[in-house]
Amino acid sequence: MDPLLMGGDLDKSGEHVGILPGMANRHGVITGATGTGKTVTLQCIAENFSRIGVPVFVSDVKGDFSGVQTPGSPHEKVDERLEAIGIDNFEFAGNPVEFWDVFGEKGTAVRTTVSEMGPVLMARLLGLSEAQTGVLNICFRVADDEGMLLLDLKDLRLLLKFVGDNSDQYESEYGNIASTSVGAVQRSLLGLEDQGGNVFFGEPDISIKDMIRTDQNGKGIINILAADKLMQNPKIYSTFLLWLLSELFEELPEAGDPDKPVMAFFFDEAHLLFDEAPKALLEKIEQVVKLIRSKGVGVYFITQNPLDIPDPVLAQLGNRVQHALRAYTPREQKAVKAAAGAFRQNPDLDTEKVITELGVGEALVSFLDEKGAPSVVRRTLIRPPYSQIGPLENAKRDQVINSSMLYRDYKDAVDKESAYEILQKRIDEKALAEEEAAEAKAKEKEEKKSSKGGRKSNSERLVGNVIGSFGSKIGREIARGVLGGILRK
């Protein structure tokens, strides 16, 4: 299969640069400062994949990627770039897209269940300590062992309360359950709900297969996640995308070395995935990135600085596009040096110097060759996209969303019986049993009291008879005498 055209070598006029489809599942990275052309590069790669029947997933954090759905428009600057690269027969074209949105506002609703997210990612999402994570793990184990589904946050919240209230029943089997840790996890859950967590936990949950589709012409669907609102909480954004990657890894069969990817996954603002991530999570990310290529999935990270990505992950990214970097501060100078050192050096190119001199739309590029080895770095002018640069008009976007069958399938949330309903029934039954026991005890006490009151001694009967005669003077005198004698004893 021919390389996917990305641009032209600026130092070798007329020589094109492209990605080999058979090496596209070896992952990649697009880096560069703001405004240097990363989004256009992403758009070019995505539509290249779509054209050869590869479905694509893109997180749209700025809200300006939706234009990939509609054809671009002629422009003199486009003509100039096409001429500079040496591209003939260029035709503008749109791409089949599916819009997704965790909040269900700018696309088909994306939901998952608490069970599918799992305790590791939920702990990261909630920002839990080691002790709090231990309590969360116990709750997930209890749910599994007792056959309770954890679908939404109310399931998990009530399970936490139930396990905490009945800790004496569980600690011998599962370990210590500190009430302080239970309370801390519950407070974190409330915070997650305030940030919209109750919207994307539930059913119907997304099937990954609905994102791996082609249209009637065989072009890969470009799945666009509206992430501008989701980005208001970066931890939710990054954890959610990591969950999607994990789901792809779990559900897809082994693909070996396909002639083209099964799917391409683009992770924008990738540094958020690694910020403040504990060691265990970083190891999980590294494992997923390393192994998911065998499922035919190519993962592409987009970020400003190559230092944002840990070395073990960066080493897995074979296809690299580096746009301009600034080098005013020591950290920026370190980033430039690191970026230059990540390429296979070209003897005709001073990579470290060129990185700071690149113009908008220019990039240093190295793609894997047919043997899987990185090519020498080349200064490349990125081609114009076939599709529109910038966002789609709202009316057109709404039309695309409303015409989607998936939008109708996922639109309305469903709340079926799960841990919340099961536990609430147990709690109600326990409360009823306690109430009935209390009533029986009170009744028994009353019966004992009544029984005791029916058996009077001879003295009590005498006093009663005497008091009954209070109506007469003689009776009153007898009563005073008898009662006085009793009280003095």
Q: What is the pLDDT of residue 476?
A: 44
Containing 39, the helix (H) or strand (E) segment is: helix 38-51
Q: What is the pLDDT of residue 377?
A: 96
Q: What is the pLDDT of residue 449?
A: 81
Distance (Å, whole) CA 315 – CA 184: 38
Residue carrying the six token digits 């997304």: 206
**In Å, how far are 75, 305, 385, 396 from 72, measured between CA atoms?**
9, 29, 7, 15
Write the pLDDT tens digit of every residue in 302-325. 999 888 999 999 999 999 999 999
Q: What is the pLDDT of residue 179?
A: 94
CB-based burial of residue 217 (10 Å sphere; 0-12 exposed, 13-18 middle, 19+ buried)? exposed
**In Å, how far are 353, 474, 483 from 471, measured between CA atoms?**
122, 9, 16
Distance (Å, whole) CA 249 – CA 236: 20
CB-based burial of residue 467 (10 Å sphere; 0-12 exposed, 13-18 middle, 19+ buried)? middle
User: Rounded to the nearest 10 degrees, what angle do helices 473-488 and 458-467 cross at?
Assistant: 150
Q: What is the pLDDT of residue 479?
A: 36
Top-level CATH class of 4-111+204-410? alpha beta
Q: What is the pLDDT of residue 388?
A: 97
Q: What is the pLDDT of residue 484?
A: 40
Q: What is the pLDDT of residue 429?
A: 92
Q: What is the pLDDT of residue 456?
A: 52
Sheet holding 108-109, edge to edge: 16-19, 4-9, 378-382, 362-366, 319-322, 28-31, 297-303, 263-268, 56-60, 222-226, 97-101, 108-109
What are the sequence ranges of the domains in the chain? Answer: 4-111+204-410, 128-138+148-199+417-425, 460-489
Q: What is the pLDDT of residue 480?
A: 39
What residues of the chain score a pLDDT lower than 70?
Answer: 452-489
3-state secondary structure of 148: coil
CB 295 within 8 A of CB 249: yes
Distance (Å, whole) CA 130 – CA 345: 44
**pTM of the predicted protein model:** 0.87
DSSP 349: -
